[in-house]
């Protein structure tokens, strides 16, 4: 199936069924690895909100959630500059933090976030991302839970956007080559 958003054409890349199945698997793994810990899920807005909601419903543990907002994209490309728009005000000291992100590509935003979270003195910080682009990744920190590794292509849907559009799509679409 193909769609059009603004001036670009996209085609289905990862179906909602694949996303649902992989999200359930990650939720089970997180449940087993965080049992007995004070778990705080940190969602990175705007893109992670759908994945985070579905992931939280698949984690069978007590947890709390907070959101922050950082931005490094303009259109279909990274600006390579990170802006913090909405920060964390909760006390995270001594807690187990799970950052939930929609996509880690260059890793610039996540690197920024990891450095910011250090000042909160958490017991541990782990990362869950729906998508990862290994070819674009420029850092060596570990991604603990990865839904799908994808090529270095622009994608939308399931929380990911193109200039604010497409977040509500249930599947993930890639930029069409035709």
The CATH number given to whatever domain includes residue 60 is 3.40.50.2020
The number of domains in the chain is: 1
Would residue 9 count as lying in a domain? no
Q: What are phi and psi of 161, to 5 degrees?
A: -130, 165
Closest CA to 152 of 82, 81, 103: 103
Residues in the chain: 178
3-state SS assignment for residue 109: helix
3-state SS assignment for residue 33: helix
Would residue 162 count as lying in a domain? no
Asked whether residue 74 carries a pLDDT value surpassing 70, the answer given is: no
Q: For tokens 């200039």, what's the residue?
A: 163
Would residue 122 count as lying in a domain? yes
Spatial distance between the Cα atoms of 170 and 101, rounded to a whole number of angstroms: 17
Asked whether residue 112 carries a pLDDT value surpassing 70, the answer given is: yes
Would residue 129 count as lying in a domain? yes
Which range marks the domain in which residue 77 is found? 16-151
**What pLDDT, on the 0 to 100 scale, is given for residue 55?**
98
Active site residues: 105
Would residue 74 count as lying in a domain? yes
């Amino acid at each position: 199936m193909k769609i059009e958003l603004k001036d670009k054409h996209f085609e289905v890349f990862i179906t909602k069924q694949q996303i649902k199945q992989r999200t359930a698997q990650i939720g089970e793994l997180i449940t087993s690895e965080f049992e007995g810990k004070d778990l705080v899920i940190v969602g990175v807005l705007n893109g992670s909100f759908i994945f985070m909601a579905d992931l939280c419903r698949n984690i069978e543990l007590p947890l709390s959630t907070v959101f922050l907002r950082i931005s490094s994209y303009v259109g279909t490309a990274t600006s390579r500059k990170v802006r913090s728009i909405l920060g964390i005000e909760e006390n995270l000291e001594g807690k187990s933090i799970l950052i939930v992100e929609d996509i880690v590509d260059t890793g610039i935003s996540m690197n920024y976030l990891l450095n910011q979270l250090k000042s909160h003195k958490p017991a541990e910080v782990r990362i869950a991302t729906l998508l990862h682009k290994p070819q674009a990744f420029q850092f060596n920190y570990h991604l603990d839970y990865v839904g799908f590794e994808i090529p270095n292509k622009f994608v939308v849907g399931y929380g990911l956007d193109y200039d604010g559009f497409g977040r509500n799509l249930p599947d993930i679409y890639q930029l069409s080559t035709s």
